[in-house]
Amino acid sequence: MRLPPSFIVAHKELLSSLRDRQTALYTFVLPLVLYPGVFWLMVQGMLVLQGQREHTAVRVGLTAEVPAELDAELAQALGGGRGGSVDGARPEGIDILEVERDPSPRSLEEARSWAREEKEGQPRFDAVLHRDDPAAPEAHTQVLYDSSRSRSELARDRLLPRLEAFVERLRVRAARERDVDPRRLQPLRIEEAPITPRRDIGALILSSILPILLVVMAVMGAFFPAVDLAAGEKERRTAETTLLLPLPRSTVLHGKILAVTSTAVVAVALNLFAIGLSAEHLMSMLTGGAAQASFELPLLALLAVAPLAILFAFFVSAVLTAVAGLAATFKEGQALLGPVQMVFILPAMIGVIPGLVLSPGWALVPVVNVVLAFRSLLRGEPLYLEYALCSAALLVYALAAVRAAVWILSREEVALAGATLSPRRLFTLLRGRDSRS
């Protein structure tokens, strides 16, 4: 039985495509090796982050409009037990909740001001628990927290389950005293009350979007120029002409990397600027004009992150140019740089995990450091040591990448190669044992 001509052509083209080692590598090997490994690293990173959160102590203020004995019992329940748990079941040092009770009466507005107090440049409390007058018709117990701070959200997450356990104890005790069904009693009405200013909410949302876009746009902005200036030059047969220029070969390669860096920086700047201008309008459209956040172009944060973005673009451009220089044609250069893009983009996704903060250790991790630094700058966090370490690390990585790119691409065996270099062939050339020379 004869197949239709289209199937015969498809069979021929498929066999031809699979004969290409790069196509087979990126179609079959890469998905089976790269992505499971990356996801495993992401899971391990999240487990480490979870462990850090469990060992982070948070501080909560307890105040009431009319202080009563119940407040002392509530403070005991929230902060009592091992590790700050209600039942003492948690190990020592896990999920610590420190409670400070205010014996003075405070209104809700006074409690909000108390929640915003600072001590030695840091917030005095991560959250504040305020109780209304029990005699009021609609008395509530409100958890005041700042949704723009991870420690404040952590304090809220620890408070709510303990409050529910305490309310359940009160309900059961009151039901026994009155001999009624516990479900008919509601001794405390609990509600969450964010105190984050609208501007900080906008900065929080932007800090979740812009950092990863910085990485993606830097990579995409450098992708095609790197392929064109490296592999494209070989395909056009102009590499020999470039080598004859009356300039040191390193100078020519530095110029190529600078050209790629320029396009990456321009792409990042234009995209961030466009997002900053349209963010408020887009969010107001999505929320029907009733947005709870104020979006403003964070000029100071963008100016502060500009040196980091330039260094990161320099680092990305050097890596992409070096890898693209190993290909013999534009198409093969695109195929080579596909996995390299993921090497940059996947760590950027790790950097936007909620609760992950910039620390001296993370400031030294490539890609993740620039994402965390940009996010911290957008939130106005004064992490000067971490910013300095991040800048120094990016500078070292950029210089190392440029040096490696020049060292690889300045060799005539690489610059004039008539075919895409395999890893084995490249390793032989770099060791200076080229059997063809």
**pLDDT, tens digit (0-9, with 9 covering 90-100), for 336-368:** 788 788 888 888 887 667 667 888 988 998 988
Q: Across residues 413-436, what is the average pLDDT?
A: 62
Long-range contacts of 108-113 (CB under 8 A, 24+ apart): 108/65, 108/132, 108/142, 110/63, 111/63, 111/142, 111/144, 112/144, 112/195
The reported pTM is 0.67
Note the pLDDT of residue 389. Answer: 93
Note the pLDDT of residue 312. Answer: 92
Note the pLDDT of residue 287. Answer: 46
Residue with tokens 């209104």: 107
Q: What angle do CA 315, 319, 324 make, to 5 degrees?
A: 145
Q: Which domains does the chain have, with CATH numbers?
A: 57-196 (3.40.1710), 200-430 (no CATH)
Residues comprising the chain, all counted: 437
State pLDDT tens for residues 169-197: 877 877 777 777 766 666 667 777 777 66
CA distance 334 to 264: 17
Of 76-80, 86-90, 93-97, 331-335, the least confident: 86-90
CB of 254 closer than 8 Å to CB of 401: no
pLDDT band, very low/low/confident/very high, at 88 (cuts 50, 70, 90): very low
Tokens of 398: 């950029």
Q: Across residues 69-74, what is the average pLDDT?
A: 73
pLDDT band, very low/low/confident/very high, at 426 (cuts 50, 70, 90): low
Q: What one-letter code names the amino acid at 210?
A: L
Q: Across residues 312-327, what is the average pLDDT?
A: 89
Mean pLDDT for the chain? Answer: 76
Helix (H, G, I), strand (E, B) or coil at 63: strand
CA distance 204 to 330: 41
Highest mean pLDDT out of 86-100, 347-361, 411-425:
347-361
Question: Higher confidence at residue 264 or residue 338?
Answer: 264
3-state helix, strand, coil in the chain (%, to 5): 65, 10, 25
pLDDT band, very low/low/confident/very high, at 436 (cuts 50, 70, 90): very low
State pLDDT tens for residues 268-283: 888 777 766 666 565 5
Q: Across residues 370-389, what is the average pLDDT?
A: 86
Of 55-69, 190-204, 340-354, 386-400, the least confident: 190-204
Q: Across residues 15-41, what is the average pLDDT?
A: 67
230 pLDDT more than 70: yes
Which residue, 285, 278, 146, is CA-closest to 210? 278
Note the pLDDT of residue 30. Answer: 64
227 pLDDT more than 90: no
Q: Across residues 301-305, what is the average pLDDT?
A: 77
CA distance 51 to 200: 27
CB of 314 closer than 8 Å to CB of 370: no
Give the full edge-to-edge strand order of the sheet including 97-105: 97-105, 58-64, 127-131, 141-145, 190-194
